[in-house]
Amino acid sequence: MPKISVVIPAYNSQRTILETIDSVLQQTFSDFELIVINDGSTDRTLELLETVQDTRLKVYSYPNGGLPTARNRGINRATGEFISFIDADDIWTRDKLELQLKALQKNPRAGVAYSWTTCMGNNGNSFHPGVTESVQGNVYANLLVGNIIGSGSNVLIRTEAIESVGYFDESLKSAEDWDYWLRLAPKWDFVVVPKPQILYRLSSGAMSSKLDVMEKYQTLVLKRAFESAPPELQYLKNQGFAYIYLFMTRLCLSRINNQKVVGQAAKKLWKAIRLYPQILLGKEAQILSIKLLVLGIISPKFAAAILNKMSILRKRTDPRLKTKSVSS
């Protein structure tokens, strides 16, 4: 029985599937099975999989069921003590499994190991920083204010931890990975490998039609999470929803194709600020605000409101800006 089961859901992935598989087969830790769930592909995905000559590869074909369903089918096929998932267009560094496994073995109370993420352009040639959180132990509160894991291609999970929470929610069309981490976090500690090990591919396809879907399901996931969260964590609710709108602002601005999308970004940023004004202390909110100002979409009144809030927050948090008493 292999130590680790790696699950790849694949749907019409002919352009990237072999590169993804190669990044798994080249891992420095080799005691694993590689389970590819062919999720009803209609392109050459299955044909390409048949060219891979490695006994660790196992391919199972099903009618299309969607990403959460494909992951669940992979869980049902897995026999390893640990399970990891990677989407069919992402890539791992060679030491990903080795270092995450060592982290879990050193921390027997931990059920999940995660690493840092680097974002990769659709062509695989451009890179920029992704998620680089370093929190460990009880990360439940951290997950309530944002998906610190970044994607479903990141984690290595103990099989017993998976058994404790069950399957991915197949009713979710987006944010199903964040939902899963939120269900694991109250039961298990998390450990981090502070190193970029996941190359997350950013699609160059139009996202405007999907933005509403992403926002809908992220909001649903977080609303449900706070319904079951303990009273002492309810104060994080506004902050959590604010970060959803900040994330949506970033997505809008990264896929600008017309002024309407830019206008949507401005509205989402303002929602985030109204929910949690302190978000303006963060570098990302400041950069997005400046970008919108440069694009000229923000009205003078809106711009003044943002700058005023930033000024007030700086005065509250920076002791150098506080008024000093003058002795007579």
Q: How confident is the model at residue 315 (pLDDT cuts 50, 70, 90)?
A: low
Report CA-CA distances (Å) from 53 to 39, 56, 160, 241: 21, 9, 31, 47
Q: What pLDDT score does 306 carry?
A: 62
Residue 262 has, within 13 A of its CA and on its CB side, a CA count of 15
The one-character DSSP state at 161 is H
Q: What is the mean pLDDT of the chain?
A: 89
Q: What pLDDT score does 321 carry?
A: 39
**160 strand-pairing partners:** none
- In the chain, what percentage of residues exceed pLDDT 70? 85
Concatenated DSSP letters of 98-110: HHHHHHHHH-TTE
Q: What pLDDT score does 298 carry?
A: 56
Q: 50: burial class by Cβ within 10 Å (0-12, 13-18, 19+)? A: exposed
Q: What pLDDT score does 303 carry?
A: 56
Q: Per the confidence metrics, is the pTM higher than 0.85?
A: yes
Q: What pLDDT score does 317 carry?
A: 58
Dihedral angle computed from the Cα positions of residues 214, 218, 221 and 227, in that order, rounded to the nearest 10 degrees: -140
- In the chain, what percentage of residues exceed pLDDT 90? 74
Q: 36: burial class by Cβ within 10 Å (0-12, 13-18, 19+)? A: buried
The residues near 101 (Cβ < 8 Å, ≥ 6 apart) are: 3, 4, 29, 82, 113, 156
Determine the Cα–Cα distance for residues 241 and 222; give it in Å rounded to an integer. 7
Task: For residue range 71-117, list pLDDT tens digits in order.
Answer: 999 999 999 999 999 999 999 999 999 999 999 999 999 999 999 99
Q: What pLDDT score does 122 carry?
A: 72
Concatenated DSSP letters of 197-227: EEEEEPP-S--HHHHHHHHHHHHHHHHHHHH
Kindly state the tokens that stand for 87. 């989407």
- When pLDDT is averaged across residues 197-208 and rounded to a whole number, the result is 69
Q: What pLDDT score does 251 carry?
A: 85
The CATH superfamily holding the domain 4-201 is Spore Coat Polysaccharide Biosynthesis Protein SpsA; Chain A (3.90.550.10)
Dihedral angle computed from the Cα positions of residues 114, 115, 118 and 124, in that order, rounded to the nearest 10 degrees: -80
What residue ranges do the domains of the chain occupy? 4-201, 208-318
Whether the pLDDT of residue 301 is over 70: the answer is no
Give the β-pairing of 156-158 and 82-85: antiparallel
**Radius of gyration of the chain, Cα coordinates, nearest whole angstrom:** 22
Task: For residue range 150-192, list pLDDT tens digits in order.
Answer: 999 999 999 999 999 999 999 999 999 999 999 999 999 999 9
Task: For residue range 26-54, list pLDDT tens digits in order.
Answer: 999 999 999 999 999 999 999 999 999 99
**218 CA to centre of own chain:** 11
Inter-residue contact 177 to 147 (CB < 8 Å): yes
Q: How confident is the model at residue 121 (pLDDT cuts 50, 70, 90)?
A: confident
Whether the pLDDT of residue 225 is over 50: the answer is yes
Whether the pLDDT of residue 127 is over 80: the answer is no
- When pLDDT is averaged across residues 242-267 and rounded to a whole number, the result is 84
Specify the amino acid at residue 47: E
Lowest mean pLDDT among 51-55, 132-136, 141-145, 296-300: 296-300
Kindly state the tokens that stand for 312. 């007030």
